[in-house]
Amino acid sequence: MKKISFLLIMAVLFFTTSCEKYIEGYDLSPNSPTEVTPALLLATIEVSTFATYNGGVNRAASVFTQQIEGTAEQMKDVANYVLLEGDNLNEWNSIYTDCIVECNTLIDLAGDANPYYVGIAKVIKAMNLSVATDMWGDVPNREAGLGIKGEEYFSPNYDSQETVYQDLQVLLSEAIELFGKQASDNVVLPAGEDFIFGGNVAKWKNTAWILKARFANRLSKKDTGSADKVLEYLGNLDASAADAMAIFGTNSAELNPWYAFNNERGTYIRMGATYVDLLKSINDPRLPFFCDSVPGGEYIGAAPGSENTAASFTGPFYSSAASPIPLVSLVEAKFLEAEAQLRKGNTAAAAQAHNDAIKASVLQVTGADDEAYYAAQASETAQSISLAKIMTHKYVALFLQLENYNDWRRTGIPALTPNNGPNVENNGRIPVRFPTPQDERINNPNATVNQDINQPVWWAS
């Protein structure tokens, strides 16, 4: 765990932004920050991004993909497909206020004198903007976070999702170019305040290439050249490539969000029966890492609509107090490669990438190879590989990650049986988008309002 306390960061931000008017004109200690620095901004942006990828949006998405199940209170409503315009307002505001606005600020503050900070900010901005558009469709983009420049930006225009995806690629290409600068081109170098990579821009560059591949693959229904682009982007990875992880700590303000949610709202979520039963059916060695056992040692998932609070909690690997969770991973990159190769008809290469992805995930999670499991599940050939196998194993490996919802909406894999319980709404259909937040509908006359949670987003249609 990095030595910088997340709680201290927030306290400093509050002091520097809320109390400045009370100290104006007084001599200040040189050890007390009176203005936001690139280092402080980067740290807070990363912490906010960890929440974006592991907060309310992901909890709902993970219920919809049946990796977990909502068993009580508002999460029971999610399980019953009640998704209203006020439900994820906080998440929307956090993406834009705490992440995109602050990324813009960091880009401006760092400027030409600090290309590494600017590059990291562009990658993180792309990550947050992608969550917004993947969940809500058309969103503020080119005018997002520009309110500081004047009231003409207080009600930002929305851009089409197609435009947003074009701009995501531009942001990442610009970041990659900036990471190619020399360290001597920077006045200040990112370091420990970068919780993800400690200022290692080679690792950030690889992450940007994987993100470019992720976003290119997302357009498999819209861009006939997407598979070629995925493979081109992944071909730029080098030996320094590493997982970009959301990092957490053991202090109250730093806890892993899944751990904190389970502790604070112990009856709200449980493991989903669809996911648990799948892992059981293939004797998956990751089951006891991803799923906690119930008294008696069994692993039990809650069926959709069952409200089964006696089912298992999410397991220790991603739900302990300080467990890191992947944001962008090499396992995901291998699955992207497998799908792209398959779409190009390179079945042998697809099978090899699929097998490699499974082996890498099992070793990473369990700490040991499992040859029997590999023989059963990671020994596909050019003749046996299929999209269903690739996407199903990606669904298993990327446990509790937003990519599962995106992949399911794009491919329909795995096949999910919707909740058909007595309290289900939305005509028993799993939502495929989030409704426009109510504050946008009410206060932004330029908003593209869409409250139909059954209408696919552009790239999934």
Could you tell me which residues come within 8 angstroms of residue 158 by beta carbon, excluding any fewer than 6 positions away? 138, 139, 140, 141, 446, 447, 448
Cα-Cα-Cα-Cα dihedral sign, residues 205, 35, 146, 85: positive
pLDDT digits (tens, 9 = 90+) for 261-308: 999 999 999 999 999 999 999 999 999 999 999 999 999 999 999 999
Quote the CA–CA distance of 325 and 288 in Å, as a whole number: 17
Quote the CA–CA distance of 289 and 272 in Å, as a whole number: 15
CA atoms within 13 A on the CB side of 285: 20
Please give the angle made by the CA atoms of 193, 195 and 196, to the nearest 5 degrees.
135
Mean pLDDT, rounded, for 125-141: 98
Among residues 141, 101, 103, the alpha carbon closest in space to that of 121 is found at 103
Strand 139-140 relative to strand 158-159: parallel, antiparallel, unpaired? Answer: antiparallel
Axis crossing angle, helix 387-397 with helix 403-411, rounded to the nearest 10? 160
Tokens of 396: 């298993």
Q: How confident is the model at residue 146 (pLDDT cuts 50, 70, 90)?
A: confident
292 contacts 313 by C-beta, under 8 angstroms:
yes
pLDDT on residue 153 = 82
Q: How confident is the model at residue 34 (pLDDT cuts 50, 70, 90)?
A: low
pLDDT digits (tens, 9 = 90+) for 312-334: 999 999 999 999 999 999 999 99
pLDDT digits (tens, 9 = 90+) for 169-219: 999 999 999 999 999 999 999 999 999 999 999 999 999 999 999 999 999
Residue 68: pLDDT above 80? yes
> Is the backbone peptide bond immediately before 414 cis, with ω within 30 degrees of 0?
yes
Mean pLDDT, rounded, for 28-46: 75
Domain boundary assignment for the chain: 37-238+250-329+398-412+432-456
Sequential DSSP letters for 97-157? IIIIHHHHHHHHHHGGG-HHHHHHHHHHHHHHHHHHHHHHSSEE-TTTT-GGG-GGGSSPP
Quote the CA–CA distance of 337 and 165 in Å, as a whole number: 20
Pick the CATH number of 37-238+250-329+398-412+432-456 from 1.10.1140.10, 1.10.3720.10, 3.40.50.300, 1.25.40.390: 1.25.40.390
Give the range among 30-44, 337-351, 417-431 with minimum mean pLDDT.
30-44
pLDDT on residue 253 = 87
Mean predicted lDDT score pLDDT of the chain? 92
pLDDT on residue 52 = 96
Residue 18: pLDDT above 60? no
Rounded to two decimals, what is the model's pTM?
A: 0.92
Give the range among 110-114, 234-238, 419-423, 427-431 with minimum mean pLDDT.
419-423
